[in-house]
Amino acid sequence: MRVQKHCLLVLTLLGGLTGGLVSGAAIADSQAPSIPNGVNAQAIDSSSVRVSWNQPWDNVAIEGYNIYRNNQYYATVFNTNYIDYSVSSGGNYEYAIVAFDAAKNYTTLSAKVAVTVASNNNQEAAPAPTNNDQNLTVPSGLRSSVENGNAAVIYWSAPQGDVKGYNVYRDGSYITSTANTEYRDTQMSWGQDHRYQIVAYSQNNTFSEKSAELTVNTANNNRSAERPQSDPVQQSASPAQQSGGVPEGYSQVFADEFQQYSLDSNKWNSQYRWGPWLTINEEKQFYVNRLQNPDFGHSPFSFDGEHMTISAIRTPEHLKSSANWKPYLSGALTTYNKFKMKYGYVEIRAKLPKGKGLWSAFWLLHNNDYDRRPEIDVVEYIGDKPNIAYNTYHYYLNGQLKSSPTMEASGPDYSQGFHTYAVKWEPGLITWYVDGVERNRFQDGNASWEDMYLLVNLAIGGKWAGDPDGNTQFPAQMTIDYIRAYQKN
């Protein structure tokens, strides 16, 4: 992010800024949020229901939600989704939502939504085994691919024998039969372990034994293959198998798959370490500190259970004084004081925004403000140059800023889909990758040997990107599938 040119200024000003900032006077809030809409209730299985709704508007900030079930108060939550595990098989339930803000202004009840929980008595029966076919082996190679918060595809290898189809078992119970060597389960519970086993059956309705179990959890994107019963100490897949560009012999040390519905404060800060009031690179945005200032009145971070999106908007009139009179609001995340590393491989899979004045970036920055003060820009993307991903390394030598050439990785219009951007950082060598293919490298004794932390942000304007123009669309969105870091074993 070319912060290096401003590091000395930042360090000089921080002392004065930290003691001199005064928050605005508190304003009495008597306005209730808008009534939640888009309420949806879906039975997950015979013992649980997922309830979700759209985030309403508030003049300050939403604090939480009260859930009503069958016209009675039932629970309070702080996200726009809830799983009700206290339902009965075959039961009928009705849900409605009330939103409230920090001043405890409550909305009226939302529209009600009804749902009927599936009955165990109506569950399809599994074809019953007659006798085992000695020529029909057990299905093996179970593995999964998580699609979203409540869906995953389970795969397996066809066994030997005259196979007609397969019975799929989840958590010990039969759920369906299929003629294919895969099954897409859309009724999973987010954050819950589900155990899968497969039974093959032949044309004569003879059956194999159950396969070894595969455990899948959509919350942590578990894609582990089954552990064969005959090999209790099977090694996990190598990092190179987990992701095409990850080097052999590296293990994951940090990851956020963004399959939750809020920021993980154990992993992230939602502002730069020098605070929100100092703007670098002559940029035009104010970064909203969602974690430390949840009542700001706007959050740039949103989640769909599979991705996180950083959205930049024009600053609403009523928030301009809170936003230091910056014309745009956006978001930045860092792992400062939460995660740092020295050497390794880092990657992001993201869809980057197109448009004049948009400057999205994933980078590493020095953890300490002395020595070489390095910065590795894994990817910088200037929205009006959609076919170029930029790679740069900055550091200080004898008090003078030094930089590698601003290297280009030309390709397709990167804004049209998800791409993986990565750096392999070794002693004396920094190598950049796009979609697993090496694109640029910096080989020099000045390559960073200091601890560094991760940053990701969507900036607006600045000396490099220029100002947005009439064709720049807002909200501008940087959508992130995952961020991961690995180090050599």
Closest CA relative to residue 364, chosen from 273, 456, 260: 456
Q: Which stretches does DSSP call E strand in 288-403? A: 301-303, 308-314, 328-330, 332-334, 344-351, 358-366, 375-382, 388-397, 400-403
The identity of residue 389, as a single letter, is: A
Q: Is residue 306 annotated as a catalytic residue, yes or no?
A: no
- Rounded CA separation 407/297 (Å): 39
Find all residues with CB under 8 Å of 111, minimum gap 6, and list them.
Answer: 37, 39, 96
Kindly write down the DSSP assignment for every residue of 94-128, as one continuous string.
EEEEEEEETT--BPPP---EEEEPPPGGGSPPPPP
Helical H runs in 70-199?
A: none
DSSP-derived letter for residue 306 is S
CB proximity list for 258: less than 8 A, separation 6 or greater: 303, 306, 307, 308, 480, 481, 482, 483
Beta bridge partners of 334: 269, 455
Residues 6 or more apart whose CB falls under 8 angstroms from that of 404 comprise 392, 393, 394, 442
Taking the alpha carbons of 114, 120, 125, 126 in that order, is the dihedral positive or negative?
positive
Strand-pair partners of 442: 430
Contact 419, 435 (CB under 8 A): yes
Q: Is 438 a residue of the active site?
A: no
Q: Which of 248, 306, 375, 426 is catalytic?
A: 375
**Burial class of residue 134, CB neighbours in 10 A (0-12, 13-18, 19+):** exposed
Total Cβ atoms within 10 A of residue 84 = 21
Beta strands, E only, 358-406: 358-366, 375-382, 388-397, 400-403
Query: Which residues are designated catalytic?
Result: 375, 380
